[in-house]
Amino acid sequence: MTKQPADPDLLFKALADPNRRKLLDLLHAHDGRTLGELCEHLDMSRQGVTQHLGVLEAANLVATLRRGREKLHFLNPVPLQEIYERWIAKFEKPRLKALADLKQQLEKT
Amino acid sequence: MARSTFVYVTYIRTTPEKLWSALTDAQFMKQYWFGMHCECQWTAGSPWKLVSETGQVLDAGDIIEAEPPRRLVIRWRHQNKPEFKAEGDSRCTMELEPVGAAVKLSITHSIERDSSKLIEAVSGGWPKILSNLKSLLETGSAVLADPYPAATARAG
């Protein structure tokens, strides 16, 4: 495996599909599921789900563990945390400050 | 048996040796683990403790396996909150695997019970710690100095 799993393009492309986001939601609700269990919740062929899981795994959003003959899928929240720090936290701060200032103004009068 | 498991994976542009040292050096650890550090000899059988900035022992246990710079398994029991402590021993496995110019760090934290509160609690912490560790090793500085920056911003 020589691809760069930390590539943000892979991450954003992986998130840009509703079925893949649904898979992430399913894993968030109940982690450690097999392919068969995930297929039950999606109106899609087994092969289609396998492909989507492959994209999510390449973006490091899904990690797999083998337990006996089963392959279990886990949501990996680390790349989402990195998006949060890189793309969300810094834009959120000015807004929080604006709200805090507003509260202070309103409560003063 | 029912089991709660969380898996965390991050790819860090470093070497397994440097990453092993980052995971086991108490002084270095404080920079990305929000001031906390581990006290341990890092050999199989040795006691292990996670200690807060103020010296409080938050978690304790022992090293089940230590194979530098590849694999570390910790028997991990929470000490602070009674409801987490009551859940008993959890197991935290850290695996380091070179991938190209990076190292794949996989952390698996599990406990032999369904819907574990401890595992739910650590699942909020690990992504932040690992994201900080990655930034620190790759750029020389941690991103988050505070685990709850939004809460601090509101309070300030």
* Residues A88, A91, A93, A99, CA torsion sign: negative
The DSSP letter of residue B142 is -
pLDDT of residue A88: 83
What is the structure's pLDDT at B156?
38
Beta-bridged to residue B99, according to DSSP, are B102
The residue segments making up the domain with residue B35 are: 4-111
ipTM of the complex: 0.71
Q: Is residue B31 part of a domain?
A: yes
Question: Residue B91 is encoded by which pair of tokens?
Answer: 């197991």
Report the relative pairing of strands A70-75 and B47-51 from DSSP bridges.
Answer: unpaired
The nearest CA of chain A is from the CA of B130 a distance in Å of 7
Mutation target for B interface from A60, A62, A81: give the one with most B CBs within 10 A.
Answer: A81
Is A100 in the B-facing interface, judged by CB distances under 8 Å? yes
Q: Render pLDDT for A33-70 as a digit per residue (tens, 0 to 9).
A: 999 999 999 999 999 999 999 999 999 999 999 989 99
> Which residues of B fall within a CB distance of 8 Å from A1?
99-100
What does A47-69 look like in DSSP terms, one character per residue? HHHHHHHHHHHHTTSEEEEEETT
B99–chain A Cβ distance below 8 A for any pair: yes
* pLDDT of the residue at B58: 95
Residue B149 forms contact with A (CB below 8 Å) = yes
Residue B155 located in a structural domain: no
Give the CATH number, domain containing residue B56. Answer: 3.30.530.20
Pairing of strands B37-40, B47-51: antiparallel
| Burial of residue B109 (number of CB atoms within 10 Å: 0-12, 13-18, 19+) | buried
- CA pair distance A79, A83, nearest whole angstrom: 6
- pLDDT of the residue at A97: 77
Instruction: Tell which residue, B102, B120, B98, has the closest CA to residue B110.
Output: B120
pLDDT exceeds cutoff 70 at B138 = yes
Give the confidence band of A1 by pLDDT, cuts at 50, 70, 90: very low
- In chain B, residues with a C-beta closer than 8 Å to the C-beta of A80 are 127
In a domain, B147, yes or no: no
B7-56: pLDDT as tens digits: 999 999 999 999 999 999 999 999 999 999 999 999 999 999 999 999 99
B136 within a domain of the structure (yes/no):
no
Which two structure tokens, joined as six digits, stand for A87? 């793309």
User: In A1-109, where do the E strands start and end?
Assistant: 62-67, 70-75
Q: Which residues 2-41 in chain B show a CB within 8 A of chain A?
A: 5-11, 13
**Residue B26 in domain:** yes
Q: Read off φ and ψ for residue B31, nearest 5 degrees.
A: -70, -30
B98-115 average pLDDT score: 92
Instruction: Confirm if A23 and A17 have CB atoms less than 8 A apart.
Output: no
Looking at residue B152, its pLDDT comes to 47
Judged by DSSP in three states, B141 sits in: coil
Tens of pLDDT, residues B80-96: 999 999 999 999 999 99
Quote the number of domains for chain B.
1
Q: Poorest-confidence range of A45-49, B113-117, B122-126, B148-152? A: B148-152
pLDDT band for B123, please (50, 70, 90 cuts): confident
Residue B124: CB atoms within 10 Å: 12
The number of angstroms, rounded, from the C-alpha of A104 to the middle of its chain's C-alpha atoms is 36
What pLDDT is stored for residue B150 in this prediction?
55
Handedness of CA B74, B1, A65, A33 (dihedral sign): negative
Using CB atoms and an 8 Å cut-off, which of residues 14-33 of chain A contact chain B? 31-32
Closest CA in chain B for residue A57: B9
With respect to residue B139, please indicate whether it lies within any of the assigned structural domains: no
- Chain A residue numbers with beta carbons less than 8 Å from the beta carbon of B156 are 100
Q: Provide the shortest C-alpha distance from residue A40 to chain B (in Å).
A: 21
Domain-embedded: residue B43: yes
